[in-house]
Amino acid sequence: MEKTNFIDYIRIFCRSGHGGAGSKHFMRNKLTAKGGPDGGDGGRGGHIILRGNKNLWTLLHLRYFKNVLAENGENGSGNNSTGRSGKDIVIEVPLGTIGKDEESGQQEIEILEHGQEVIWLKGGRGGLGNSNFATATNQAPEHAQPGERGDEAWKIVELKVLADVGLVGFPNAGKSTLLSVVTAAKPKIANYAFTTLSPQLGIVAYRDSQSFCIADLPGIIEGAAEGKGLGHRFLRHIERNPVLLFLLPADSADHRKEFEVLVNELREYNPELLHKQFVIAVSKSDMLDDELKAAIEKELPKDIPHLFISAVTQQGLQELKDLLWKVLNQ
C-alpha cells in the first residue's frame, strides 16, 4: 500500500496525573512551640484533554505519540501551602474526531468545533491536609488524606471526515476525476481500482461566493461492511456526510443492481445511514445518446433525484452543483 499522510486511527495509552498527598504538619517557629495543624492540601493531578483544531485534517501528528502521561500533583506542605497542580496535557485533534475506550469500545467524547475542549481523563484530586480535620474535640489531628490516583487506560482516537457531501461508488467509478474538476483538490487519478486509499476533501465554489465541502471516499466493494477491500476504514467516514452522492458509471452492466449493492453495504454497516439524503449521478455520460439515457433512467429509483454528468466534458456539472445545494439546504 502506498505511503500516506492521512492517518485517521490512533491507539494510545493515557494516564492522568495522581493527586498530591495532603500534609500532616503543625506550626513550629521561634514564637510558637506547639502550634495548631497547618498542613496544606495536595495539588490536583494533570488532566488529559482533547481540543478541536480546524487547521488539522489528519491524526498524523499523533502517530508516534503512544504514551500520554500527565504530571502528578505536588504534595501539600506546612503553613497551609497547597501543592502545585500537575500540568494538563492537551491533545489537539481535527474536527470530527471521537475518543473511545479500547476495552469497552464505547464512544466517550466527540470534537466538532474549533477550540472545543473536553476533559477525557480527569486527574486525581489532591488529598486534604490535617488542618481540614481540626475540631473542637480534636485540635491536633495526626492524619491527612493521600491523593487520589489518576485514571489510566488504552484509548482510541478516531477521525470521521466532516464534509457536506460524500462521494459513494465502486472503485474506478470516476469519483476522483469529478472531485478534481468541481474543486481545486488534486487527488490521484488512475485507471485501476482503489487509486484512492484515503478520503480527499475539496471545496466546491457555488453561486454568490457560497461553497460546500465534498469528500472523495475510497470505493466500496461488495462485502465492505464485513471488512473486505478497505472495509470499515472507509465506511465510518460516511457517517458524517448529510448528503451522499452515488456515482454510477455509464458503462455499468446493471445500474440498478450496482446502486442496490452500494445501499446494502451501507445498511449492513449502519442502518442509520439510509436516513441520509441520496443523489444519483451517472458519470461518463458523454458516451451516451438520448436513447441510452432513457434506458438507464428506467433502471434508477424513481424517488431519488438523478442526473447525467461527464467530468471530462463538464456536462451537467453546474446542474449537479445546483441539485446538491438544493438538497443540502432543504
Specify the pLDDT at position 185. Answer: 55
Global pTM? 0.67
Same-domain pairing of 205 and 279: yes
What number is the average pLDDT over the span 278-303? Answer: 88
| Percent of the chain clearing pLDDT 70 (strictly above) | 88
What is d(CA 231, CA 229) in angstroms, rounded to the nearest whole number?
5
Which tens digit of pLDDT belongs to each residue from 186-238? 544 444 333 444 567 777 888 887 888 888 777 665 554 444 444 455 667 77
Residue 54 pLDDT grade (very low, low, confident, very high; cuts 50, 70, 90): confident
Same-domain pairing of 117 and 23: yes
Same-domain pairing of 23 and 149: yes
Same-domain pairing of 242 and 217: yes
Same-domain pairing of 240 and 284: yes
Please give the residue that has the higher pLDDT: either 265 or 321. Answer: 321
Same-domain pairing of 187 and 287: yes
Residue 34: DSSP 8-state = S
| 19-28, 92-101, 140-149, 229-238: least confidently modelled range | 229-238
Edge to edge, the sheet with strand 165-168 lists 200-205, 211-216, 165-168, 243-249, 277-283, 306-308
Same-domain pairing of 136 and 187: no
Same-domain pairing of 120 and 198: no
Domain count for the chain, please give it: 2
Specify the pLDDT at position 183. Answer: 76
Domain that holds residue 211: 165-328
**Residue in 219, 238, 200 with CA at minimum distance from that of residue 4:** 200
Same-domain pairing of 121 and 187: no
